Amino acid sequence: MENKYDAWSRGFIRLALLINRHFEGFVDAYIGPSFIKEEVEQESSVEPPALLAEAERLLDTLPSAGYANRRTEYLKRQMLAIRLICAKLCGQSFSYSEEVATCFNIKPERVAEQVFENALTELDELVPGKGSLVERLEERKKWLTIPPARLMEVSTFACEEVRKRSAQFLDLPEGETLEIVEVKNEPWNAYNWYLGNYKSLIEINTDLPVQATYISRLVCHEAYPGHHIEHALKEQKLFREKGYLENSIMLINTPECVISEGIGNTAERIVFDGDELFEWQVSEIFPRCGIVGGNATEEARIARAQGDLNWVRGNVAFMIHEDGASDAEAVAYLKRYSLRNEDEARKALSFIKSPLWRPYIFTYLVGEPLLRVITQGEQRQPVFRKLLGEQIYPDLCLEWATQGVPAD
């Protein structure tokens, strides 16, 4: 078993597992050979300066590892992120922009507040009811809330539907399966824990009410054809078939996360064609939630108008981590421009301030538009298949956006 994998890739896995001792959560999942993990567990503590030196060594020796060009370029960007993380563990300081850019192979930017103002003006015209826009949106949230007793039933139904749709254009690995459970007291809304052997555990955080219009996005993002299927196909095609050891480990705050979250946020549009999604929500999800009424055209317009408000969280991340804004200022900004109530704003802030997740918000904000450009028209599903089963990094997506996606 030990001779099956080359020294460089074993060193990569070993370094990541050692970093996780100092930066818990950095390793999101490990499904590789047990002997590497056992060797690391038997080692005495390795201090950050030694981790940084090993990251430098791996970067320096990567070109001579003998890998194909795509694999080398993918690993180079992963290693640049890992080196920065090791440097931070050593006490080195970086600007927030530099941290995000290096971790994710992207350029984070603030969005002009006029974009939010325009979206709010449009929403004011679209959201029905009486009272201010904030009051109408609060009433709308109550109307759309899935009764807690029905959440698992509705989630399971939606998951079965998107699995069926995904299987129409994907060869799902034999034996793939998942479980959905409810949790509380987490900074995120939902999470896919990939367990290996084509299995996942999906947790839905019920700290806040879950809305009927969100459930299809949730199951597409976390399950089919999002995280669960991405991890399963990469396990099958890259780790098992090609022997790419680096694809037996999933690392937080590296460029792979931009692609993964882009896949998750794009997944809903891949299995539902255009406004078909909103027709399905109104006809199939709303009744199962006990929601009376609803108009697919109206829901589509409101969803599009709300889309620009996602970027409010990026501005808040800059406010907190570059400008030194207080929690109160950040909460007020979230409430003003993204129309969150107090509880929702504080939940969003807890994610942005988390030591593990502090740069991560930009994986969602940049990942989705990055992949949207290359998953258009009749080619959206074939290109999506490539994203699910190949080593992809943000720079490569930018290249494909201008030069076209190569055929299989």
Q: Are 371 and 387 a contacting pair, CB within 8 Å?
A: yes
Domain end call among 58, 93, 128: 93
Residue 75: partners with Cβ closer than 8 Å, 6 or more residues away: 12, 62, 67, 246
Number of domains making up the chain: 2
Q: What is the 3-state secondary structure (H, E, C) of 164-197?
A: HHHCCCCCCCCCCEEEEEEECCCCCCEEEEEEEC
Residue 53: inside a domain:
yes
Name the packing angle between helices 312-321 and 96-104 (round to 10°).
Answer: 120
pLDDT single digits (tens) 264-276:
999 999 999 988 9
How far is residue 196's CA from residue 235's CA, in Å, rounded to a whole number?
Answer: 8
Question: Residue 257: which region, alpha, beta or left (left: phi > 0; alpha: psi -120 to 50)?
Answer: alpha
- Catalogue the long-range contacts made by 341-344 (C-beta closer than 8 Å, 24 or more residues apart): 341/138, 343/208, 344/208
Same domain membership, residue 82 and residue 117: no
Q: Is the Cβ–Cβ distance between 99 and 359 less than 8 Å?
A: yes
Give the C-alpha separation, 320 to 357, whole Å: 13
Q: Which amino acid is at 301?
A: R
261 plus 119 within the same structural domain: yes
Residue whose C-alpha is closest to residue 188's, from 334, 73, 354: 354
Give the list of residues 6+ apart from residue 156 with CB closer than 8 angstroms, or none.
Answer: 180
Kindly state whether residue 246 falls inside one of the protein's structural domains. Answer: yes
Would 98 be classed as within a structural domain? no
What is each CA distance from 370 to 186, 219, 311, 315, in whole angstroms? 28, 21, 14, 19
- Count Cα neighbours of 395 within 13 Å in the Cβ-side half-sphere: 13
DSSP structural state of residue 27: E
Task: Compute φ and ψ for 211, nearest 5 degrees.
Answer: -95, 150
Pair 119, 265 in one domain: yes
260 neighbors 230 (Cβ within 8 angstroms): yes
Entry pTM: 0.96
- Averages of pLDDT over runs of 10 residues in the chain (408 residues) are 80 98 97 96 93 98 97 98 98 98 97 97 96 96 96 98 98 97 96 98 96 97 98 98 97 98 97 94 97 94 94 98 98 97 96 96 97 93 97 98 89
Residue 123: inside a domain: yes
108 assigned to some structural domain: no
pLDDT tens-place string over residues 183-209: 999 999 999 999 999 999 999 999 999
Q: Is 50 exposed, middle or buried (0-12, 13-18, 19+ CB in 10 A)?
A: middle
Residues 32 and 82 placed together within one structural domain of the fold: yes
Indicate the residue type of 136. Answer: R
Asked if residue 291 belongs to a domain, the reply is yes
Of 93, 125, 151, the domain-final residue: 93
Co-location of 15 and 61 in the same domain: yes
Question: What does the mean pLDDT of the chain come to?
Answer: 96
Distance of alpha carbon 343 from alpha carbon 93, whole angstroms: 32
How far is residue 41's CA from residue 366's CA, in Å, rounded to a whole number?
A: 36
Do residues 329 and 220 lie in contact, with contact meaning Cβ atoms separated by under 8 Å?
no
- Domain assignment of residue 274, yes or no: yes
**Domain, as residue range, for 68:** 2-93
| Size of the chain in residues | 408
Whether 149 and 200 share a structural domain = yes
Give the residue from 59, 93, 127 where a domain finishes. 93
Tell me: do 285 and 245 sit in the same domain: yes
Give domain status of residue 408, yes or no: no
Say whether both 271 and 327 belong to one domain.
yes
85 and 208 belong to one structural domain:
no
Same domain membership, residue 89 and residue 131: no
User: Does residue 79 share a domain with residue 171?
Assistant: no
Q: What share of the chain is helix, strand, coil (3-state, %, to 5)?
A: 65, 5, 30
Q: What is the largest CA-CA distance in the chain?
A: 70
Check whether residue 137 and residue 34 sit in a common domain.
no
